[in-house]
Structure 1
Amino acid sequence: MFFRKFYIDLVEGRKRGSFIIFIKLFLFLLSLLYRVVVSLRNYLYDKGFLKSRKFNIRVISVGNITWGGTGKTSLVIKLAKSLPDFKIAILLRGYGQDEVDLIKNSLRGDSCKVFASKNRLKILTSLSSDYDLAIFDDGFQYRRVKKDLEIVLVNGKEGLKRRFLLPLGKLREPINSLKRADVVIIMHSLNRELGSFLKKINPKLRIFQGRYIPQNLRDLRGKIYSPRDFLNKEIACFSAIGWPEGFLNSLKELGLLPKLKFIYPDHYQLKEEEFRKIEEKCLSSAITDLIITEKDKLRFKFPTQLSLFILEAELQINPEEEFLNLVRNVSVFKNLK
């Protein structure tokens, strides 16, 4: 965990010193090499030397151009729920078991099935004609399949300008790759400057705003609590998601200010001895309520003296009806490619 946190702090500019400059120089050289490889790959696809396979089933991709914390999984769930009359296959990359379990738990029923595999082309090929739609979670970089709608989420708080590619920065590919996107959702902030910047890259982009609206809190048995129930209590919070600032901002919006904050890297698998230290710190501070995210609840499989509460938040897209109509009429967008 130490090295992972060190790397994230370095990329996000929280590390200083002469040794850090040396590390950044090395990462800069790797970033240049990575840019060459990714740009060459995109060029080969753009010019047709590498082929994107077209399927009869309609395909929507939900992805991003940076790593961490844009809300892809929440949007996939929202899309599936907004299309109750469709039989949907959701395809994930095969890593990050928390996303797989979260989607499965959120979309129970026969109309939607979740597949997790590194070879999503093989899964898509094997799907029966009974399916109406395939949704790719984290699909923007997956170019082996031709999509009918490319949706990209961008963190409006962080923006995209002056961003380096991996491993020095957060960009997974050059910003001009957004030329192949149909829709960009700017998350967490009403960033009009970013919207104008994106339009210069791709004038055909349809741009929407997205944010999480915090609602209530729910215990692990499913009982709902009002945020007011916690206003006069000492609380702690835990997060192991890509952009924990969004979670903390949601708590603040509800008037909840945790006395203790336990922030871990995205996808972090909490060990029992680590949880016991969290539990001990809470109890020694007379705190018995620990607030977590929906995605993090699967990490807590240990008996505890703490009461765990999940923050419920609704993903809102603005203008929502226009966005959902666009998705429902996804077949129209075949002509845009």
Structure 2
Amino acid sequence: MPSFHDFYLSLVRGERRGVGAWALRAGLWWVRLPYGTAVWLRNRAFDRGWKPATRVPVPVVGVGNLTLGGTGKTPCVEYVAAFYRELGVAAAVLSRGYGAQAGMNDEAMVLEENLPDVPHLQGPDRAALARTAVEELESEVLVLDDGFQHRRLARDLDIVLVDATRPLASDYLFPRGLLREPVGELRRAGVIVLTRADQAGADSVARQRDWLGRRFPDTPVATAVHAPVELVGADGVVEPVESLRGKAVGAFCGIGNPEAFHRTLTDLGASVAAFRTFPDHHAYTREDVEDLRAWAGRLPPDATIATTQKDFVKLRVSELGGHVVRAVRVGMRFLDGEEAFRGRLREVVAKLPRGENEEDRSEREEGSD
């Protein structure tokens, strides 16, 4: 029995056929109109200054998307924060903290594990978080996670991620589709990144780049992949991702795009014997863990359990049902457009009152690549 989440996705993507599915999509098409009107009015209010945006005395870089579900924001936030850290610029990450029950949510825990020297502040009022980061932490640049729709905090650069496996040209505004805003709002973006480009096919990526280039000719478009970096375990073990090749794997995840994780495993050469999904930002309970143990116990004796780092940081279990558990840690790697992307990041901090000039910074950055 599919969950409502799976049913909804298959419906809006046109995978469900028949008169009933057609009628439901038609109804959702009409329901999208009041939602779209509200989004349009809100954006125009910010564009024209009727709703004020808070500006802080340091640059703010937003990383976000246009769609519901995952596009790989966390690896991009990590890339941006690490870029500024390598430049010697004190960065802090600000996020809403969706899914947090007590303390940090899964994305914050992943960032803390991978970038322990970069502060991460969470809360619904990101303008207040920005002031705290500047006044108390002396941050020199702020990275706003999932911030494209959060217009209360003014930005100097908006990075918008587009999942190349889900082309914008064939999507609809919520609830008929997964668009949070009309595609035209990409005019606010300073750079667009097509993520998971390796999973979409070269022809599809080329068509999407051409489509975006015609609609937004002044906005650079880069392509990137979420490349598996290593496997990590609760016992501190780190293994190469190649160790999954040829192995039977039972996998589970609670992320916005579970299909992408499945493809990552198969691309690594793993034989996925069973695959379970949970809602995005799922808070695992004791009952969930016991259920996973029972599920894992039915896997082949030599199987490995694989999950995402976002799920792993909430569980921290070394085994399930007698099978070792490993998290796949991923990082963002550019296929093209990286220099233009990094150039936009450099422009944001070029006027910071620091002891070295931009040429010195560029030389040091090239030396760190």
TM-score by length of structure 2 reads: 0.83
**Contiguous gaps of at least 5 residues in structure 2:** 100-104, 353-369
* 2:113 equivalent in structure 1: 105
Deviations 1:247-297 (A, max 9, x none): 222222221121111122322223333333333233223244101111110
Task: Report the 3-state secondary structure (helix = DSSP H, G, I; strand = E; otherwise coil) of the residue aligned with 1:128.
Answer: helix
Does residue 225 in structure 1 map to residue 226 in structure 2? no
Q: 1:21 to 1:319 in 2, by over 3 A?
A: closer
- Among 94, 102, 115, which residue is 2:121 paired with? 115
Q: In structure 2, what is the Cα distance between the partners aligned to 1:48 and 1:233?
A: 57
Q: State the one-letter code of the partner of 2:90.
A: K
The residue aligned with 2:150 is 142
Q: Which position in structure 2 is the counterpart of 1:312?
A: 329
Aligned mates of 1:210, 1:118 — CA distance in 2 = 30
State the AA in 2 paired with 1:135.
V
Q: Is the 8 A contact 1:237 1:290 kept in 2?
A: yes
Amino acid at match of 1:174: P
Name the structure 1 match of 2:168.
160
* Counterpart for residue 328 of structure 1: 346
Q: Which residue of 1 is the match for residue 252 of structure 2?
A: 238
Which range moves more in the overlay, 204-213 or 324-333? Answer: 324-333
Per-residue CA deviation, residues 44-74 of structure 1 (Å, 9 max, x unaligned), is 2222322223221100000000111211111
- Indicate yes or no: 2:215 matched with 1:201: yes
CA distance in 2, matches of 1:178, 1:227: 35
Aligned partners of 1:69, 1:24: CA distance in 2, in Å? Answer: 22
- After TM superposition, list the pairs within 5 Å mapping 1:1-337 onto structure 2: 2-84=3-85, 85-96=88-99, 97-109=105-117, 112-129=118-135, 130-189=138-197, 190=202, 191-287=205-301, 288-301=303-316, 304=320, 305-317=322-334, 318-331=336-349
> Compared with structure 1, are the counterparts of its residues 216 and 87 closer, same or farther at alpha carbon in structure 2 (3 Å cutoff)?
closer
Displacement of 1:170 in angstroms is: 0.5
Contact preservation (8 Å) 2:93, 2:121: yes
Q: Structure 1 residues 14-23 or 212-221, which shifts more?
A: 14-23
Do the aligned partners of 1:164 and 1:170 also contact (CA within 8 Å) in 2? Answer: yes
SS of the equivalent of 2:255 reads coil
- The Cα of 1:227 is off from its aligned counterpart by 4.2
Closer/same/farther in 2, CA of residues 192 and 233 from structure 1, 3 Å limit: closer
Instruction: For residue 169 of structure 2, give the secondary structure of its aligned residue in structure 1.
Output: coil
Residue 141 of structure 1: CA displacement? Answer: 0.8
Answer with 61-70 or 207-216: which moved more.
207-216
- TM-score, length-scaled by structure 1: 0.90
Amino acid at match of 1:313: V
Amino acid at match of 2:121: F
Q: CA deviation at 1:79?
A: 1.0
1:162-191 deviations in whole A, cap 9, x for unaligned? 321111211000110011111000111251
1:91 aligned partner, one-letter code: L
1:227/1:182 Cα in 2 relative to 1: closer, same or farther (>3 Å)? closer
When residues 83 and 332 of structure 1 are mapped into structure 2, their CA distance, relative to the original with a 3 A threshold, is closer
Give the deviation of 1:328 after TM superposition.
2.5
The answer to whether the Cα contact below 8 Å between 1:150 and 1:182 also exists between their aligned partners in 2 is: yes
Q: Secondary structure at the match of 1:237?
A: strand
Contact 2:162 2:193 in 1 (8 A): yes
Post-superposition offset of 1:331: 4.0
Instruction: Give, as a single letter, the amino acid of the residue that structure 2 aligns with 1:121.
Output: A
312-321 or 155-164, larger mean C-alpha shift: 312-321
Q: Which moved more, 1:20-29 or 1:95-104?
A: 20-29
Q: Matches of 2:214 and 2:306 in 1, distance apart?
A: 41
Q: 1:333 to 1:39 in 2, by over 3 A?
A: farther
Output one character per residue of 1:16-62: Cα deviation in whole Å (capped at 9) or x when no partner: 33333333233222211111111111122222322223221100000
Match of 1:258, SS? strand
Q: Which amino acid in structure 1 is aligned with residue 134 of structure 2?
A: S
Contact 2:248 2:270 (8 Å CA) reproduced = no
Q: Identity of paired residues, percent?
A: 28
What is the identity, as a one-letter code, of the residue corresponding to 2:93? I
CA distance in 2, matches of 1:331, 1:284: 53
What letter is aligned with 1:327?
Answer: L
Q: What is the rounded CA distance, in whole Å, between the counterparts of 2:172 and 2:337 in structure 1? A: 31
